[in-house]
Structure 1
Amino acid sequence: MSADDHAADPIRTILVPTDGSDAAGTALERALQFAEPDDATVHVLSVVDTTTNPMRFGVAEVAELDRATEELVDEIVDAYGDRDVEIRGAIRRGRPASTILAYAEENEIDLLVVGRTGRDGVADALLGSTTDRLVRQASIPVIVVPASGTVGNENREIHSRD
């Protein structure tokens, strides 16, 4: 099956991973814009990553991460509850990219909308390590949204030579 076979399929479900960053917030705004015309459901997923250094987290720290993440997702759902879009919140534990992709498959997500951040290293400077993995590994379309205030091509003037 080619990518063109899905070109006309309506978007019914959109997944937006969030870590509470500005980039994730901007991605959520864009996802809501995509969802409204087609009455799509937006899933907001936050992943508690305790796999990076499992020895670093005790039971109390994991419980605190879970609580903080749950509050974050609840706040997002509440903040956008007045929109004419169904928003579902979810929290998972695991490695962010693989957990996001597993959630997308489990929930038959049609589109993944992620924020772009630039923190460390070459891949991170371009996309962010989790975003980079999602773009490379996802079997569904991925839209990468720059954080608000990011200077991109939309802000550059293009001059033609006469």
Structure 2
Amino acid sequence: MYETVLLPTDGSEVAAGAVEHAIDAASRHDATVHVLYVVDESVANAAPGLAMGEINEKLEDEGERAIADLEETISEAGLDTEAAIRVGTPDEEILKYMDDVGVDLVTMGTTGKRIVERERVGSVTDALVRKATVPVLAVPRT
């Protein structure tokens, strides 16, 4: 049923909480877990006084750390993993990635770093639930 499970992350605790569900789904279907971090262009553009390249570099470093931690956890579960970093608008880049690799299931946190304190579905998760052509498992903060 699922050959490719996508685990988008922004490095937040809520996003990391979705990894158990991604591992469970991938284990049941012998699927590969793809970990994706999107450097949000709007964050880089909103920091006056700092060079956009410098901000993107810091955000990419953050993404590499987040991905490395998740890849290690997924590999320890005995699953194959792929990882990527993209730059752009998170929901748009996630949707493009889904098309590019043929994702069968998305497993993600309900909120990300920017709104982790709010008790509502995050805008990226909401957009994916509405626009994705595959199931999206939205994992709440626990």
With the length of structure 1 as denominator, give the TM-score of the two structures.
0.76
Do the aligned partners of 2:9 and 2:35 also contact (CA within 8 Å) in 1? yes
With the length of structure 2 as denominator, give the TM-score of the two structures.
0.86
Task: Tell me, in whole angstroms, the C-alpha distance in 2 between the residues paired with 1:71 and 1:110.
Answer: 25
Greater RCO structure (CA 8 Å; 6+ sep) = 2
Identity value in percent: 36
Counterpart for residue 14 of structure 2: 23
Counterpart for residue 83 of structure 2: 89
5+ unaligned residues in a row in structure 1: which ranges? 1-9, 149-162
Counterpart for residue 54 of structure 1: 45
Task: Tell me, in whole angstroms, the C-alpha distance in 1 between the residues paired with 2:10 and 2:60.
Answer: 12
Task: Tell me, in whole angstroms, the C-alpha distance in 2 between the residues paired with 1:40 and 1:138.
Answer: 19
Counterpart for residue 60 of structure 2: 66
Task: Tell me, in whole angstroms, the C-alpha distance in 2 between the residues paired with 1:147 and 1:51.
Answer: 24
Is 1:38 aligned to 2:50, yes or no?
Answer: no
Provide the alpha-carbon RMSD of the alignment. Answer: 1.9
- Alpha-carbon distance, 1:64 to partner: 1.6
5+ unaligned residues in a row in structure 2: which ranges? none
- Alpha-carbon distance, 1:36 to partner: 0.4
Larger radius of gyration: 1
Going from structure 1 to structure 2, the CA distance change for 1:33 and 1:54 (only over 3 Å counts) comes to: same
Do the aligned partners of 2:4 and 2:34 also contact (CA within 8 Å) in 1? yes
How many residue pairs match? The answer is 136
Superimposed CA distance per residue, residues 50-75 of structure 1 (whole angstroms, 9 cap, x where no aligned partner): 23562635222211211221122122
Going from structure 1 to structure 2, the CA distance change for 1:60 and 1:52 (only over 3 Å counts) comes to: closer
